[in-house]
């Protein structure tokens, strides 16, 4: 299981997602360009000292991310790309996750472009009350990742 952040706009969300990955033992891919300087103080503030513990791979672009997937790259050869998008028809609770899935999160400002949708193997959404547009990307990712790890028994072993 991996998290892939497509061109994140908000450093606080990226830091929170990296912290999530570190705490749950889930590698994180950041697909650039980011809408902030990667060393941004807000990124560090949200990620705190957990950023030093995250298994992080940065990709210069979407094509570079796809190329890494083709070879022996960090994003997993053959792994499914599962997009989290409000435009999906399948609720994440009805989706059957696999241990090597890559959960792809879009930009906070504009979501995911057509090229990313075209490469997707599946799309899932968080069901919401009618009339609501979207959740914070880090909140949605935590919900979906939690379900994916539950289904695949991928949570880290609890400390004794």
Identify whether 16 is part of a domain. Answer: yes
Element (H, E) at 12: helix 11-24
DSSP codes, 88-134: -SSBGGG----TT-EEEE-BTTTB--HHHHHH-SEEEB----TT---
Residues contacting residue 143 through CB under 8 Å, at least 6 positions apart = 92, 126, 135
115 in a domain, yes or no? Answer: yes
81 falls within a domain: yes
Q: How many CB atoms lie within 10 A of CB 7?
A: 21
109 lies in a domain?
yes
CA dist., res. 44 & res. 59, Å (int): 19
Low-confidence residues in the chain, pLDDT < 50: 73-75
Angle (CA) 106-151-16 rounded to 5° is 35
- 3-state secondary structure at position 68: helix
The reply to whether 14 falls in a domain is yes
The CATH number linked to 123 is 3.40.1280.10
Owning domain of residue 12: 2-152
Q: What DSSP element (H or E) covers 59? A: strand 56-59
Residue 158 covered by a domain: no
Tokens of 134: 């979207």
Distance CA 97, CA 133 (A): 25
Predicted TM-score of the model (pTM)? 0.92
Domain count, the chain: 1
Q: pLDDT value at position 115? A: 95
Average pLDDT over the chain, rounded to whole?
91
The pLDDT, as a whole number, for residue 36 is 80
- 3-state secondary structure at position 87: coil
Q: Tell me what pLDDT residue 41 has.
A: 79
pLDDT of residue 66: 95
């Amino acid at each position: 299981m991996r998290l892939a952040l497509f061109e994140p706009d908000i450093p606080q969300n990226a830091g929170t997602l990296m912290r999530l990955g570190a705490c749950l033992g889930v590698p994180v891919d950041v697909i650039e360009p980011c809408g902030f300087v990667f060393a941004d103080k807000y990124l560090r503030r949200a990620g705190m000292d957990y950023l030093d513990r995250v298994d992080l791979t940065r990709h210069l672009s979407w094509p570079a991310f796809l190329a890494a997937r083709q070879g022996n790259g960090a994003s997993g050869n053959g792994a499914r790309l599962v997009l989290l998008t409000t435009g999906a028809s399948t609720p994440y609770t009805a989706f059957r996750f696999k241990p090597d899935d890559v959960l792809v999160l879009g930009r906070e400002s504009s979501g995911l472009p057509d090229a990313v949708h075209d490469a997707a193997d599946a799309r899932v959404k968080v069901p919401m009350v009618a009339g609501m547009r979207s959740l914070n990307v880090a909140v949605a990712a935590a919900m979906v990742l939690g379900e994916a790890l539950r289904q695949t028994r991928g949570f880290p072993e609890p400390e004794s």
